[in-house]
Structure 1
Amino acid sequence: MCGIVGAIADRDVVPVLIEGLKRLEYRGYDSAGIAVVDAGKAPDRQVRRVRRTGRVSEMESAAQGEHFAATLGIGHTRWATHGGVTEANAHPHISHGVALVHNGIIENHEAQREKLAALGYRFESQTDTEVIAHLIHHHLAAGSDLLIALQKTVKELTGAYALAVVSRAEPERLVCARMGCPLLVGLGEGENFVASDVSAIIQATRQVIFLEEGDTVDISRTSVAIYDADDARVEREVHVSDVSLASLELGPYRHFMQKEIHEQPRAIADTIEAAIDAGGFPASLFGQRADEVLRGIEGVQILACGTSYYAGMTARYWIEAISGLPCSVEIASEYRYRAAYANPRHLIVTISQSGETLDTMEALKYAKSLGHLHTLSICNVPESAIPRASELVCYTRAGAEIGVASTKAFTTQLAALFQLAVVLGKLHGKIEAQAEAQYLEELRHLPGSVQHALNLEPQIAAWAERFAGKENALFLGRGLSYPIALEGALKLKEISYIHAEAYPAGELKHGPLALVDDTIPVVFIAPNDRLLEKVKSNMQEVRARGGELFVFADHDSNFSESAGVHVIRTPRHTGVLSPVVHTIPVQLLAYHTALARGTDVDKPRNLAKSVTVE
């Protein structure tokens, strides 16, 4: 973990590597480094390396101070897994002129370390990655060339990896491998690139090849040769990335999270555009075979992690209420390790912003191994691993999301899942044309309702000043609002580092009420729905114990502010889509609280954007 970039060209690639690493900063990291192969002749040619803990800018200054320049190099931003945050543990790692960078986790590294130590190799780090460097050198020393050494090495590894490797002995070559972690090749004119994310190389090329599981690749300035897991030469499709440079720039905003919060009306409009244009909810929103597949299912099982899991929890209410089909939601990392019951006529739905979330990908594989026949991916990144492994796909069209704390990816997931619920309701005879038209009208107004919620930002920023000095908070909601309470608590934890918990409001008296006193703010998500009176009773329970209430309500909710009760109202009740609209205030509350506390909003400590390890 967490970001890889590499380049081979006729020009100096050091600026390309550093710019690429800066564009990967959003993924989260704690150290950064680059390694380049000098242009000198053997035996004087060397691999030069610079590494620093902290920000890419610190490593960049060191590289400039040492006058780094080369036509071949690799770079990495690390998020610590094995070993602490130290320069010795930072990537790239080097073994006798072989340098590599690695995303993922090698599960059998301890056995390999013992074997290599017995062969005389010395270890300078605590990482699993250094094992790979020594293994490659071991095979090189036995007579293999760099590609074959890599291919032999990966066959000895158990775990997940994306690897980019250079050697002082072969200065015209960059070799790579992929298993379980994303890696792509960028194609240029007289130059080629490799990266874990297209954003790292978008300044140089839009022509990309997404590597498949088990692929190795041999890259020169003018050629790219790809080999499958059996080391047979294969061709992979070339894609033209639609990621724009503008989406990777801040523009007038202070942080990417703020920018992405404000991009939500547009992102939601793009996600629902096909349904609006169709004047309804055709099954084709989810793929060419969706009508046939979705008519035949008897239930839905959703697998996801983190924020995407909360989107799935919300979808369960919609799917069961609108389609009448049973729906279960499970954390992917738990599902993949239990003896799960499999009904082949249940649709497996995986949700992932990146499409590369390892636990979700492995849960999908496990579901298939149990006999599940039909799978659907809700994802934001075209051609990523999970959509490619799924029978049906719906892309959320949120655009590049840079902030580690997900915002627009979450609300567009909700929009996609709502459409799925209505499609299932149609196909299974639970809703008539009039109901479909009403759902479409509510969906049509959703971007505008979200914009109205964004207009509450000044009021929410004032609340955030009160939250900034707190160390604990409670978020409460009922029904459709409970997952939004969970999402609000998660956002506050992620970027402000305030400990926050979320509960169904009806569970207060079953334990959480013991936490309430006059030092803990309690946030209620309280739309004007059939549970509103129940929520009001829960509020009284909190006030009776001295808790200070912060209520996100609808315009027509009958609330009045008083001592210890603060109310912000969204402009109008948005019915079944209220979870989407009420997400906006909790995002803004977390953002402005983090600002007030002075934390790093876009790069919160200890977190990574794309979780490609367990």
Structure 2
Amino acid sequence: MTLTSREIASQPAIWREALETRSARATELLTLPGQRVLVLGCGTSAYLAESFAALRERAGFGMTDAAYASEPWPWRDYDAVVLLSRSGTTTEVIDALDALPEGVRTIAVTGVADSPVADRVDDVLLLDFADEESVVQTRFPTTFLLLARAALGEDVAGLPDEAEAALALPLDVDTERLSHFVYLGSGWTHGLAQEAALKIREAAQAWSESYPALDYRHGPLAVADERSLVWIIGPAEPSLPADIERTGATVRVSTHDPLVELANAQRLAVAIAAHRGLDPDNPRHLTRSIVLG
């Protein structure tokens, strides 16, 4: 079993620990009722930012924008900025943090307490028990979103048990026949779809795409054929699966909570890597953190 596989399998236990030990801190730092919040990240953390922003606004806690830390963003007189960085060392996140106006509250979500990002912010939501050795992120992002959903008022207490049961089942995906992987989501699950597609690219060097679910018919559907798996994370619009199946593609519709679906998508990335003889723990050209000179 690869390191990444073990980290994926550890998620139910990590989620339980998060809910038991970090719920109060997450509520304190992530709800911020009525405040205008910007959420920044790179790579996986940028997708987490998008999902969290959608969740916080939907829950009625206030305006929430998400942006890539590496890209310019328009300043909108935010009250607080949340910076997502598993390692706490990502250069673009540090640069974005250093460029913020004085007086803006800064909050880091990280897996490393003694890191440049953690040292620079006002408050830290530390998820060190969810940190990972693998280059490919799996349990850190799902743990953050689990805590965020709990903080914002969702009942997620049953998700560790649901994940444990789902991860014990076979994936039932033909990795030999399929070579094209598409993930669709809507609202907060669009960030999950982007993250699932990234896992395929990182771990398995395979062709993957992600789109807002209902936008898939507006062009990208033309590429789908019998080699394609199209995985809808979250609720599916009733006519969409049938429209996709007419292309010959295999359609997978969510039967679990979106975070559990993401954990299974992580498993698929590892399975494809194994089929291709690749090491999912150490993807080519990638490092655990981007630190620029």
TM-score normalized by structure 2? 0.91
Please tell me the residue identity of whatever aligns with 1:389.
Answer: R
Deviation of 1:590 after TM superposition, in Å, equals 0.8
Give the alignment's Cα RMSD to 1 decimal: 2.3
The structure whose residues are more often strand, as a share, is 1
Cross-structure match for 1:317: 54
In structure 2, the CA distance between the partners of 1:421 and 1:286, relative to structure 1 (3 Å rule), is closer
Q: 5 Å matches for 1:248-327?
A: 254-274=1-21, 282=24, 284-285=25-26, 294=32, 298-327=35-64
Cross-structure match for 2:126: 395
Tell me how far apart the structure 2 counterparts of residues 580 and 588 of structure 1 sit (CA, whole Å): 13
Cross-structure match for 1:558: none
Please tell me the residue identity of whatever aligns with 1:256.
Answer: L
Candidates 111, 115, 118, aligned match of 1:384: 115
- 1:499-541 deviations in Å (ceiling 9; x for gaps): 10000111022221121222322222244xxxx3x1x311122
In structure 2, the CA distance between the partners of 1:419 and 1:301, relative to structure 1 (3 Å rule), is farther
For structure 1, the 5+ residue unaligned runs are 1-253, 276-280, 423-438, 555-569, 571-577
Q: Does 2:88 match 1:355?
A: yes
In structure 2, the CA distance between the partners of 1:498 and 1:285, relative to structure 1 (3 Å rule), is closer
Q: Higher relative CO (CA 8 A, sep ≥ 6), structure 1 or 2? A: 2
- 1:117-163 deviations in Å (ceiling 9; x for gaps): xxxxxxxxxxxxxxxxxxxxxxxxxxxxxxxxxxxxxxxxxxxxxxx
Q: Does 2:77 match 1:343?
A: yes
Q: Does 2:67 match 1:365?
A: no
Tell me how far apart the structure 2 counterparts of residues 514 and 419 of structure 1 sit (CA, whole Å): 39
Q: SS of the residue aligned with 1:509?
A: coil
Cross-structure match for 2:277: 598
What is the aligned length?
A: 293
Query: Is the 1:342–1:371 Cα contact (8 Å) retained in structure 2?
Result: no
Deviation of 1:485 after TM superposition, in Å, equals 1.5
Candidates 266, 273, 280, aligned match of 1:587: 266
For structure 2, the 5+ residue unaligned runs are none
Tell me how far apart the structure 2 counterparts of residues 285 and 316 of structure 1 sit (CA, whole Å): 15
Cross-structure match for 1:504: 212
Cross-structure match for 2:243: 541
Query: Is the 2:38–2:65 Cα contact (8 Å) retained in structure 1?
Result: yes
Q: 5 Å matches for 1:543-558?
A: 543-549=245-251, 551-554=252-255
> Which of 1 and 2 has greater Rg?
1
Deviation of 1:285 after TM superposition, in Å, equals 4.5
Cross-structure match for 2:159: 446
Q: SS of the residue aligned with 1:334?
A: coil
Tell me how far apart the structure 1 counterparts of residues 159 and 178 of structure 2 sit (CA, whole Å): 33
Query: Is the 1:342–1:372 Cα contact (8 Å) retained in structure 2?
Result: no
Runs of 4+ in structure 1 off by over 6 angstroms are none
Q: SS of the residue aligned with 1:608?
A: coil
In structure 2, the CA distance between the partners of 1:309 and 1:506, relative to structure 1 (3 Å rule), is same
Q: SS of the residue aligned with 2:108?
A: strand
Tell me how far apart the structure 1 counterparts of residues 32 and 230 of structure 2 sit (CA, whole Å): 41
- 1:539-569 deviations in Å (ceiling 9; x for gaps): 12212223222x1422xxxxxxxxxxxxxxx
Tell me how far apart the structure 1 counterparts of residues 103 and 221 of structure 2 sit (CA, whole Å): 42
Q: SS of the residue aligned with 1:444?
A: coil
Tell me how far apart the structure 2 counterparts of residues 399 and 513 of structure 1 sit (CA, whole Å): 36
Q: 5 Å matches for 1:143-158?
A: none
TM-score normalized by structure 1? 0.45
Q: SS of the residue aligned with 1:601?
A: coil
Q: 5 Å matches for 1:125-524?
A: 254-274=1-21, 282=24, 284-285=25-26, 294=32, 298-335=35-72, 340-345=74-79, 347-366=80-99, 368=100, 370-371=101-102, 373-422=104-153, 439=154, 442-456=155-169, 458=170, 460=171, 462-463=172-173, 466-524=174-232
Query: Is the 1:268–1:398 Cα contact (8 Å) retained in structure 2?
Result: no
Please tell me the residue identity of whatever aligns with 1:363.
Answer: A
User: What percent of counterpart residues are identical?
Assistant: 27
Query: Is the 1:468–1:594 Cα contact (8 Å) retained in structure 2?
Result: no
In structure 2, the CA distance between the partners of 1:264 and 1:605, relative to structure 1 (3 Å rule), is same
